[in-house]
Amino acid sequence: MRANRVADYESILQVLDEPGCPFCRFMKNYQTALMQEPSQKSVHHLCNFHTWGLAATQRASSAARVFLELLNKPGEAADALPCDICVLLELEEDQRMREFLSCFHHKHVVQWLRLKSVLCLGHGLKLKHGAPPAIAVTIDSIMDRCRRQLAEELSQLRDVYDPAEAKWGTLGHAAEFLASQRGLRP
């Protein structure tokens, strides 16, 4: 995880024109904002992933403040406590999924569905779980299309060895489909 520019997204609809899974993009941006910008809430516990992420992305003075706060807390079973950032990410992700489903017939969403629809496996399954049956069918077709396209590209990469032309983009797209964007999920 490294410091990145934080976009000022307020809605999942704002990221539909960006490449890749819109939920990955929105959540990665939200996570970056949580890691880079000083939080108004006190941090009580961080998982390994977000502890190292904070050390890597936060301004040194802000990270030192958070780490000092954690060091000065009485010893608690670290594994028993939820990570504050993980909890905030889960709440935000749920909110964005509900927002997307409520806007499913919005002109911008319909256009995205026709032209650019991409969902990673994790977000597609979560979205489908909360969707009405008619929308779940559309989500299934998006994921099936992505899966078929990746399988075709990966088969070509496996079967046609060309040392001069590495297809790292294909491998990256496959990893993103299977596990979300890099650095998003611990």
- Higher pLDDT pick, 149 / 180: 149
How would residue 153 be classed by pLDDT, with cut points 50, 70 and 90?
Answer: confident
- Cα Rg, the chain, nearest whole Å: 19
pLDDT tens track for 65-94: 888 888 887 666 556 788 888 999 999 999
- Kindly report whether the global pTM for this prediction surpasses the value 0.85: no
Q: What percent of the chain has pLDDT over 90?
A: 32
- Higher pLDDT pick, 62 / 100: 100
Distance CA 67, CA 78 (A): 14
Average pLDDT score, the chain: 83
Cβ atoms of residues 118 and 25 within 8 Å: no
Give the per-residue pLDDT at 154. 87
Give the per-residue pLDDT at 40. 53
The mean pLDDT value for 59-64 works out to 79
